[in-house]
Amino acid sequence: MCRYGSSDRESGQALVEAALTLPLTVFLILGTLQFFLLLQARALTEYAAFRAVRTGSVKYGDCEAMTHSAIAALLPTFARTDSPTALGTAFLHHRENRFDPRRDGGHSGAIVWIARERPLLGEIRQNEEESFDDPARYAGVADVMRLEARLVFWFPLRIPFADWVLGRMFLAHLGLREYSSTDPLQPARQARWSGRLSASLDLAIRQELLDRASRREYVFPLQASYAMRMMTPARPRHFRKQNCPLTPEAL
């Protein structure tokens, strides 16, 4: 009987140890997958910024064309694009620059923000169309009309459990929301996740992160910038607002 009792105690101890380590093990697997997808999305964000500015430079600075180019570049990170039909369907459902909650794991809100830093409306001459190709205008580099933009991609975290944990970790690390409940990775202890506010994070981005977190939508803002000489004259009607639709003007 002593032998059986010892075996039962060892079995019970093994079950307790497994219960304590299982959440961490699962998170390491799912978290690694989520970080891999995040790295992929980071690379595509750089490409999307290039595509948006490149399109804007040949489309007179048109925000709609810039936004469509950025979304098309980013679709593989959150939608099916494994066939021409799937790609076309995905673009059709996202061309308004909004996530589709029915198809995107419950995510909503803007997919990208595009802040155009140059040219400003006041920099566009009244005779821009006529003088754009005038050689006398380009006496120096400073006279070249450039399109400069910053893109923010609200990358949706979609791996179950990992999105919940990483979402809270990001908010705590950025100093936006502390987490002091049960540690999801070590249930036997209390979590004390907190951090300092990142000075480089814009107020509009911080507020958007909090708003989406309150809706239980876990995202990570990936940012990239690009600049290119305008290949066509900037048209004032495309710059009545400096930033593209759905992007806060304060960004």
Q: At CA 250, angle to CA 245 and CA 251, rounded to 5?
A: 75
Quote the pLDDT of residue 57. Answer: 96
Residue 99 in 3-state DSSP? coil
User: Residue 244 contacts by C-beta under 8 Å, 6 or more apart in sequence?
Assistant: 63, 66, 67, 113, 114, 115, 116
d(CA 103, CA 177): 28
pLDDT digits (tens, 9 = 90+) for 161-212: 888 888 988 888 888 888 888 877 777 778 788 877 666 789 999 999 999 9
* DSSP, res 154: E
Residue 3: CB atoms within 10 A of its CB come to: 7
Quote the pLDDT of residue 18. Answer: 60
Residue 221: CB atoms within 10 A of its CB come to: 18
pLDDT digits (tens, 9 = 90+) for 66-102: 999 999 999 999 999 999 999 999 999 999 999 999 9
Please compute the mean of the pLDDT values over residues 220-243 and round it to a whole number: 94
Give 19: exposed, middle or buried? Use CB within 10 Å, 0-12, 13-18, 19+: exposed
- Predicted model pTM: 0.86
Strand ranges of the sheet holding 112-118, from the earlier edge strand across to the other edge: 112-118, 146-156, 219-229
pLDDT digits (tens, 9 = 90+) for 13-49: 666 566 667 777 888 888 889 999 999 999 999 999 9
